[in-house]
Amino acid sequence: MTKVGIVGGSGYTGGELMRLLLAHPKVDLELATSRKLEGEYISSTHRHLAGMVDLKFENPDPVRIKERCDVVFVAVPHGTAMNIVPEILDDETKVIDLSADYRLRTDVFEDVYGIRHCDSRDAVFGLVELHREVANESFVANPGCYPTGAILSAAPLADIGMIDLAIFDSKSGITGAGIDPSQASHYPNIAENVQPYKLTTHRHRAEIFQELNRLDKGLENINFTPHVVPSIRGILTTAHIFTKDKLSLEEVRSCYMDLYRDSPFVRIVNGVPSLSAVRGSNFCDIGFEVDERNQRVVVISAIDNLVKGASGQAIQNMNLMCGFDETTGLWMPGLAP
Amino acid sequence: MTKVGIVGGSGYTGGELMRLLLAHPKVDLELATSRKLEGEYISSTHRHLAGMVDLKFENPDPVRIKERCDVVFVAVPHGTAMNIVPEILDDETKVIDLSADYRLRTDVFEDVYGIRHCDSRDAVFGLVELHREVANESFVANPGCYPTGAILSAAPLADIGMIDLAIFDSKSGITGAGIDPSQASHYPNIAENVQPYKLTTHRHRAEIFQELNRLDKGLENINFTPHVVPSIRGILTTAHIFTKDKLSLEEVRSCYMDLYRDSPFVRIVNGVPSLSAVRGSNFCDIGFEVDERNQRVVVISAIDNLVKGASGQAIQNMNLMCGFDETTGLWMPGLAP
Amino acid sequence: MTKVGIVGGSGYTGGELMRLLLAHPKVDLELATSRKLEGEYISSTHRHLAGMVDLKFENPDPVRIKERCDVVFVAVPHGTAMNIVPEILDDETKVIDLSADYRLRTDVFEDVYGIRHCDSRDAVFGLVELHREVANESFVANPGCYPTGAILSAAPLADIGMIDLAIFDSKSGITGAGIDPSQASHYPNIAENVQPYKLTTHRHRAEIFQELNRLDKGLENINFTPHVVPSIRGILTTAHIFTKDKLSLEEVRSCYMDLYRDSPFVRIVNGVPSLSAVRGSNFCDIGFEVDERNQRVVVISAIDNLVKGASGQAIQNMNLMCGFDETTGLWMPGLAP
Amino acid sequence: MTKVGIVGGSGYTGGELMRLLLAHPKVDLELATSRKLEGEYISSTHRHLAGMVDLKFENPDPVRIKERCDVVFVAVPHGTAMNIVPEILDDETKVIDLSADYRLRTDVFEDVYGIRHCDSRDAVFGLVELHREVANESFVANPGCYPTGAILSAAPLADIGMIDLAIFDSKSGITGAGIDPSQASHYPNIAENVQPYKLTTHRHRAEIFQELNRLDKGLENINFTPHVVPSIRGILTTAHIFTKDKLSLEEVRSCYMDLYRDSPFVRIVNGVPSLSAVRGSNFCDIGFEVDERNQRVVVISAIDNLVKGASGQAIQNMNLMCGFDETTGLWMPGLAP
């Protein structure tokens, strides 16, 4: 069995990694770290794991972590991961970083996040559907939650050079804001409400831009506006895409089918996707409609932000990096209703 | 006291008219009709009105209705109102129609709704902020819920001829779908979910187009995509507006302040609007941000779909039509939290 | 106009007092205090009041408060009110305290709250339905939210000496926990959940016991278990009451009708009450069913915790203390749906 | 591989059986029937199963069903199952019935459900924790959702003959009402609400009574009141239990630990259970507190109504009936948050 560790196991992505790893037949959870919860049972924080995970949070040094683990997931805040990754990564320990630290080119990262980078290493952007080369890597930067849904919704049209202008209007569940209470997550503020934020300046736009630009160098006009909706999980992205030529529904459909032919976790659905069908699963559901009035395609993508948007995708990366089948431990349906 | 009647009082807009009329100092509710509930107490359907409304639903003929009422609200389905309005409307009875039947030019209506119109009368589009002339009318077509929020979010920029392209991405509470249960309103289908629908073909686009076009004849590129979110009430519209010239935040702000200077129910807020602050009230909250990357303004409008988006706006129309102050009976804050 | 002040205006009960006072025809809001928000606009915290309340939070001394106000609502935390009330209360300034400080006999308070009382003054328990004598008082202790619903659900049966054993199982919206974010109010922890707490030890039991005991000296077996449910507002209490004799439904009904004959805010409903019909209103809806198997009556009461359970009830007290009609400014239906 | 069929696969319990069976390593789904959806893809109804279940709904006769299946789950409405079970059940086909038809003694069933029974066969009540004898059966009646949580919450105290009086106050998610829309499941009626119903007469009381009585013949005073809360899934039961003697917390705890020592799906938790930790899982979490004032124990149990309360429990029964380990295919944590 492959031994895996989680650095930063007290948050939602840490808990979700554990939930999913429990169902994975080829790995064992060796350790999960948390400075502030060191010595406490993991299941006292992640109560749904009671009876299934008997470990306590540890706080070992990087040397011990890489001695004990074959694969390490780093699930710490942005700006912190860059201090941990170089200490753990070596020829025998693979690392998947769930933070933003290695997703962007170093100069872009420093500009967008306003943080000086201390480890300007190259990393593959671990969106497996577009980066099969993760199979050859020992270090991967796991994509952001919003970018995962947005990029997958538009990549096929970018790939054929057809996008003139794209607006990604995303609606996210509140777990994207993390496990610590705040005004944003306060029930009376979010129930029965929709709360847009960072209307034009959200940092995830840079990831969306980078990846779509990789597919179409000339693509410039990429816009992103996020909203929080009253849902625990999920990101639904409405991509309003204006195309260079008029496309028929059939042309759009075949373009999506082509690019995702070998991507088991992308489902091109008939009808309009919604969050319910992907809740708890690693699927990205995609549907679309062509506007006959002008050269616009409206594409909807739906993911679970904690699974395909974070921990599930990280395990999908691990599967390829370790030579497992891509779907190992992840081939489970969503929890619906 | 002015005597008012409601034709079609068993639905949500009928119930909301009653809730609001109870607080109105210049009118008395004379009657509310319902064919299927004739003879039943109104409060057995609208249980929150128990102890406050003692009337029963009636089913009188149009002659009796106009004899007894000075003002009649017609709150019946699209396609039905056109049969009722001409029978009630006369020199002494004012009518406000909440259906779509008189909002569009007859030929556009027939095209969009696929129904032959039997009463192709002209009517003012009762969005008071843009149509002060309702004060001189005895018949007004009350705007649709989505159009109210969308038009108000973009009108100031249309008015100065600055809009090149506009995409309205709207998020609505489920009461927009009415009081009768359906798959769309089934709790397990809508809770913890976001459901887009009619991605490019929703009929309300025609109203948005008509009204913005009235302000700027050259405006063509108007797009609208609706979504249902887990909320009882409210419509939040994200207007992605690309402008002909680059505008500063100050220019945008003064353009909105100018147009809405005399509109007490439009609040230009600092920060980003949300549904909570308008719940139960007739306010439309508007906020915006300018994208420095391109000539884009993102405008957010928030309304309560049953108040400013339907029944409250209908009373606002009545106030002007009857010579009352515009805010009479409506000057109440939202229910927050 | 009567001038009113609010000491502690930054929380939910403060905001709700303002929302309701705006609709009150006989009073003007003179001031609202907040130490931490002094100098900030009230509407920057209570955003739904934008355009309607132009005041800023102040931090005046007690002398200034009583000079400027005829009535003062004290809406500060338990243990704090007892320091403020004696400084404000005098012959010309009436005070309604929304904290727990004066609801219980001093010795009971000290025992239940574990705080030494510094102002052991007698106060009427301001549950108007049972304490019409508030009309003669210049100081009233406003009841707790849970006790309001629980006491009203059982008082008629206690009044006729019929209760053998009562269990109050209450389900509350999360605003009862206040405006500050916490694990309890964190959306992912409360959505799609039910969270019982303090299963046998909640402090509100003492109020319920005191008031039911006042009606029936021999009553001992009073039990209370609270739960939080995914709702912003509202408390629904299920009172499982075992009676000394077998009672028919008619006997129970007439017993409730008798006690609440002159209580406009108590509605004895046909069918089973729910939170929707009272949301935003000062009503307490009550319904019941008699168990034919044993001597049990199940009574349901529904209130809005921020209105009848706090701020609305405080205004109801003010109305009587000031000689206004009991319903002045409060006679409005709930916001349903 | 064991071949399983589902009679009545279009509802929530049918869909949930499929979701869970997909993770079961020892069985294959052979067929699922639906008269009204015959010929349609299962995944067009249960959209979360897209890409994982490629079958269509069938409508074969009973002979074909038992030829093709080793185990059949019957998931049809009460009163219908009794016509299907005798036609399928034989020496080579095991049947688990999820309806109420075989849970009660025939005369009690006829009395409670008001239906004449046409197949008065004995069946084991498939609450595995109390009925290990299902391992020897080829036909089992799967318990109701409310009874599962209620019985497990009180069985240890009934088993030691300590219960004097028990009141089960249950709070259920809305999926208990089924997949078809109704006023009860209409989002505006259930969101932000709590709706009690059948305060003293719910039919599930008979199951609770039967099973607790089996443990303690003298037990008479059993009461049950259900409520719907705004949650898709889950049943939280608050059991107010008055005991014959005063018990300490330690005595209560050891009594529960004893009875459930060999029950992997019952977790005795520290603290107070809630729905989140069991969502999507087969666990029943139990916690309690002793009231020092009187001889009362408040016990909380939390289950997922569609898993431990229906389909998961049915698979747990299948596991024992087929000689598999009890936890096979079910040993997965809940989906939290």
Q: Which residues of C touch A (CB under 8 A)?
A: 12, 174-175, 179, 181-183, 185-188, 190-192, 230-232
Q: Which residue has the tokens 């038809």?
A: D101
| Per-residue confidence (pLDDT) for residue C292, from 0 to 100 | 81
Tell me D310's DSSP state.
I
**Coil/strand/helix, residue A334:** coil
Which residues on chain B are in Cβ contact (under 8 Å) with C285? 50
Res. B336 pLDDT band, cuts 50 70 90: very high
What pLDDT sits at residue B240?
98
Share of chain A above pLDDT 70, in %: 100
Residue ranges of chain D whose CB lies within 8 Å of a chain B CB: 12, 174-175, 179, 181-183, 185-188, 190-192, 230-232
**pLDDT by residue (tens digit) across A16-31?**
999 999 999 999 999 9
Residues C178, C75: Cα–Cα separation, whole Å: 12
Kindly give, in sequence order, each residue whose CB lies less than 8 Å from that of residue C95, ignoring residues fewer than 6 positions away.
C71, C72, C73, C74, C85, C88, C89, C138, C139, C140
pLDDT of B293 higher than 90: no
The answer on pLDDT for A146 being more than 90 is yes
* Annotation marks residue B145 as catalytic: yes
Q: Look-up: residue for tokens 């009272």?
A: C278
Q: What is the DSSP letter of B308?
A: I
- Judge: C267–B50 Cβ closer than 8 Å, yes or no: yes
Average pLDDT over residues A197-202: 98
Helix axes C312-321, C12-21, angle to 10 degrees: 50
The Cα A65–Cα A233 span in angstroms is 31
Reported as a single tens digit per residue, the pLDDT across A300-312 is 999 999 999 999 9
Instruction: Quick: pLDDT tens for C56-98.
Output: 999 989 999 999 999 999 999 999 999 999 999 999 999 999 9
Token couple for A259: 């690019």
Q: How many CB atoms lie within 10 A of CB B19?
A: 25
Chain C: nearest CA to B239, how far in angstroms?
Answer: 22
CB count in 10 Å sphere of residue D133 = 12
CA D223 to chain centre: 19
- Contacting chains of A (3 CB pairs or more, <8 Å) are B, C, D
Q: Could you tell me which residues of chain D have a Cβ less than 8 Å from any Cβ in chain C?
A: 167, 169, 171, 173, 188-189, 192-197, 199-201, 221, 223, 225, 227, 229-234, 236, 238, 240, 272, 274-276, 279, 288-294, 296, 298, 300, 337
Architecture field, domain D2-122: 3-Layer(aba) Sandwich (3.40)
Of C181, D101, C118, B297, whose CA–CA distance to A188 is shortest?
Answer: C181
In terms of Cα–Cα distance, which of B245, B236, B243 is closest to B304? B236
The sign one gets for the Cα dihedral A214, A215, A220, A226 is negative
Residue B275: pLDDT band (50, 70, 90) is very high
Which residue ranges make up each domain of chain A?
2-122, 146-304
A335 neighbourhood in chain D, CB within 8 Å:
19, 48, 279-280, 335
C179, two tokens: 């405006």
B164 vs B212: CA distance, rounded Å: 12
Q: Residue C293: what pLDDT?
A: 85
d(CA A97, CA A86): 11
Letter string b/e over residues D99-110, b meaning 16 or more CB atoms within 10 A of that residue's CB:
bbbbbbeeeebe
Q: What is the mean pLDDT of chain C?
A: 97
**Other CB atoms closer than 10 Å to residue C268's CB: what's the count?**
17
Residues of A in contact with D267 (CB under 8 A): 50-51
Check residue C276 and report its DSSP letter.
Answer: G
User: How far apart, in whole angstroms, are the C-alpha atoms of residue C36 and residue C20?
Assistant: 23
The model's pLDDT over C261-318, given as tens digits with 9 standing for 90+, comes to 999 999 999 999 999 999 999 999 999 999 988 899 999 999 999 999 999 999 999 9
- Interface touch C240/D169, C-beta < 8 Å: yes
Q: For domain B146-304, give the fold.
A: Dihydrodipicolinate Reductase; domain 2 (3.30.360)
Q: What separation in angstroms does the CA of A94 have from each of A145, C63, D217?
A: 22, 69, 62
Is the pLDDT at A292 greater than 90? The verdict is no
Intrachain domains C2-122 and C146-304 with the same fold: no
Position C225: which residue type?
A: T
* pLDDT of C272: 98
CB-CB: which of D48, D269, D279 is closest to A50? D269
Q: Is the ipTM of this complex over 0.90?
A: yes
Q: Mind listing the pLDDT tens digit for each residue in A79-105? A: 999 999 999 999 999 999 999 999 999
Helices then strands, counting H and E runs in chain C, come out as 10, 13
> How many residues does this entry show for chain D?
337
The first and second tokens of residue C73, run together, are 């609502």
Round to whole Å and give the CA distance between C147 and D148: 32
Residue D293's pLDDT band, with cuts at 50, 70 and 90, is confident
pLDDT value of position B96: 98
pLDDT of residue B281: 98
Residues of chain C neighbouring D269 (CB-CB closer than 8 A): none
Nearest to B2 by CA among B64, B75, B72: B72
CB A261 within 8 A of CB A305: no
List the catalytic residue out of B145, B255, B284, B322. Answer: B145
With H, G, I as helix, E, B as strand and everything else as coil, classify residue C231.
coil
Distance CA A173, CA A157 (A): 27
The pair phi, psi for residue B235, each rounded to 5°, is: -130, 120
The helix or strand, by DSSP H or E, that contains position B113, with its residue range, turns out to be helix B106-113
Contact D187, B190 (CB under 8 A): yes
Per residue in B213-259, pLDDT (tens digit) is: 999 999 999 999 999 999 999 999 999 999 999 999 999 999 999 99
* Average pLDDT of the segment spanning C19-25: 97
Q: Choose the mutation target among B186, B232, B335 for the interface with D, i.e. most D CBs under 10 Å.
A: B186
Q: How open is the CA angle C177-C179-C183, to the nearest 5 degrees?
A: 55
Tell me: pLDDT of D186 over 90.
yes
Q: What is the pLDDT of residue B100?
A: 98
**Beta carbons of C51 and B267 less than 8 Å apart:** yes
8 Å CB contact between D36 and D65: no
Cα dihedral: D327, D330, D334, D335 (round 10): 160
The minimum CA-CA distance between D276 and chain C, rounded to whole Å, is 6
Quick: pLDDT tens for D25-59.
999 999 999 999 999 999 999 999 999 999 999 99
With CB atoms and an 8 Å threshold, state whether D19 touches A335.
yes
Note the pLDDT of residue D292: 81
Note whether D233 contacts C192, CB cutoff 8 Å: yes
How does the average pLDDT of chain D come out, rounded?
97
d(CA B193, CA B228) in angstroms, rounded, equals: 8
Report chain C residues touching chain D, CB-CB < 8 A. 167, 169, 171, 173, 188-189, 192-197, 199-201, 221, 223, 225, 227, 229-234, 236, 238, 240, 272, 274-276, 279, 288-294, 296, 298, 300, 337
CATH code of D146-305, in short, is: 3.30.360.10
Mutation to test the D interface, candidates C185, C187, C193, most D Cβ within 10 Å:
C193
pTM: 0.98
Residues in chain D within 8 Å Cβ distance of C234: 192-194
Is residue D141 within 8 Å of residue D134, measured between CB atoms?
A: no
Q: Which residues in D195-234 belong to E strands, given as ranges?
A: 195-196, 222-228
In Å, how far are B229, D45, D230, D236, D263 from B191, measured between CA atoms?
Answer: 8, 18, 9, 19, 33
D11 touches D19 (CB < 8 A): no
